[in-house]
Amino acid sequence: RKGSVIITGASSGLGLATAKALAETGKWHVIMACRNFLKAEKAAKSVGIPKENYTIVHLDLASLESVRQFADNFRRSGRPLDVLVCNAAVYLPTAKEPSFTAEGFELSVGTNHLGHFLLSRLLLDDLKQSDNPSKRLIIVGSITGNTNTLAGNVPPKANLGDLRGLSGGLNGINNSVMIDGGDFDGAKAYKDSKVCNMLTMQEFHRRFHEETGICFASLYPGCIATTGLFREHIPLFRLLFPPFQKYITKGYVSEEEAGKRLAQVVSDPSLTKSGVYWSWNKNSASFENQLSKEASDAEKARKLWEVSEKLVGLA
């Protein structure tokens, strides 16, 4: 049978490019988990994904109710699950005021981390039951959350502190709009959410790899300067960012190439090591990258797991 993979946020950018790369092999059926059905359908058609190789299922990560419904719907469909890719994200670098998810969590961390945390937990059993020897759970990370890199040192830097804001409910009441309890900063909230994604992947690995055989991985696909992720940024930034990445930092990667990289983490038989944060060098060869001190802090990962469980109603 074909492999069965769920990709969140497959309606644009990296998710769409990955869906295309996998569907084209003819070996995968891609479940595109998207908040905007029509946009996803148009996107799939526009890049020419063969009709028989994808299904679009509604998922709004900014609503835990929607996440639960998605998991129920998926289970009822009777499809097996071999790989789950947590890819969707919002980035609100110019927002002056915070926005909130349906349950009242700050939107960037609520969507990018808490929505995916619940989704992964709910689908873990389905992954466990897959007879595919290389079943995987992949959470897309980023260099920007890694303060051991140049890009990760552009202020505002990621910093989860002692998680007091998250423990306080991440709802804007009593200094709890940011994970560390600081003032709202949209760019930082995104970076913090990416640190959460990388910590979560490692905590999954520690808790479940041996028992389930599932391979847990994260990755930094390169700077895909052209995606919708930067849609909220000021026009001048959007104009200058792609050439800056292409010619100055040389970290630029096309959506197509980034999609191939993530598709590799989904299906390449040589990338089965669990607990790894993958990156690619100039020649597009994959390697196991080092995470920053905070993004590999096991004690913080455990605490993040426990607080997140409470917030999404699992504990």
Residues annotated as catalytic (active site), given as ranges: 190
Tell me if 67 contacts ligand NDP by CB under 6 A. Answer: no
Minimum CB distance to ligand NDP, residue 229 (Å): 3
Pairing of strands 276-280, 286-288: antiparallel
Tell me if 137 contacts ligand NDP by CB under 6 A. Answer: no
Which of 6, 21, 61, 127 binds ligand NDP (CB under 6 A)? It is 61
Is 154 within 8 Å of 76 (Cβ atoms)? no
Q: How many residues comprise the chain?
A: 315
CA-to-CA distance for 88 and 229, rounded, in angstroms?
10
Closer CB to ligand NDP, residue 4 or residue 66? 66
Residues 244-283 that bind ligand NDP (CB under 6 A): none
Which of 60, 103, 126, 192 binds ligand NDP (CB under 6 A)? It is 60
Q: Which residue number has the CB closest to ligand NDP?
A: 13
Angle at 184 between CA 182 and CA 188, to 5 degrees: 85
Instruction: Please identify, among the stretches 29-37, 49-57, 171-179, 299-307, the one whose residues bind ligand NDP according to the rule CB under 6 A.
Output: 29-37
Tell me if 35 contacts ligand NDP by CB under 6 A. Answer: yes
Which of 3, 6, 11, 29 binds ligand NDP (CB under 6 A)? It is 11
In the numeric block, the tokens 């998680």 are attached to 163
Q: What is the 3-state secondary structure (H, E, C) of 127-151?
A: HHHCCCCCCEEEEECCHHHCCCCCH
Tell me if 89 contacts ligand NDP by CB under 6 A. Answer: yes
Tell me if 242 contacts ligand NDP by CB under 6 A. Answer: no
The count of residues interacting with ligand NDP (CB under 6 A) is 31
Rounded to an integer, what is the distance from CA 56 to the centroid of its chain?
A: 18
Closer CB to ligand NDP, residue 9 or residue 152? 9
Which of 25, 27, 37, 39 binds ligand NDP (CB under 6 A)? It is 39
Closer CB to ligand NDP, residue 140 or residue 178? 140
Closer CB to ligand NDP, residue 201 or residue 223? 223
Rounded to an integer, what is the distance from CA 206 to the centroid of its chain?
A: 19
Which of 3, 6, 13, 118 binds ligand NDP (CB under 6 A)? It is 13
Which of 12, 130, 267, 289 binds ligand NDP (CB under 6 A)? It is 12
For residue 65, give the nearest of 104, 7, 14 by alpha carbon.
104
Closer CB to ligand NDP, residue 66 or residue 171? 66
Closer CB to ligand NDP, residue 22 or residue 34? 34
Strands in 276-280's sheet, in edge-to-edge order, are: 54-58, 28-34, 3-8, 83-86, 136-140, 215-219, 276-280, 286-288
Strand partners of residue 3: 28
List the structure tokens of 297: 């802090």
Distances (CA, A) of 16 to 19, 96, 275: 5, 30, 25
Tell me if 92 contacts ligand NDP by CB under 6 A. Answer: no
Tell me if 44 contacts ligand NDP by CB under 6 A. Answer: no
Cβ neighbourhood burial of 244 (10 Å; 0-12, 13-18, 19+): middle
Contacting residues toward ligand NDP, per CB under 6 A: 8-9, 11-15, 34-36, 39, 59-62, 87-90, 111, 140, 142, 194, 220-221, 223-225, 227-229
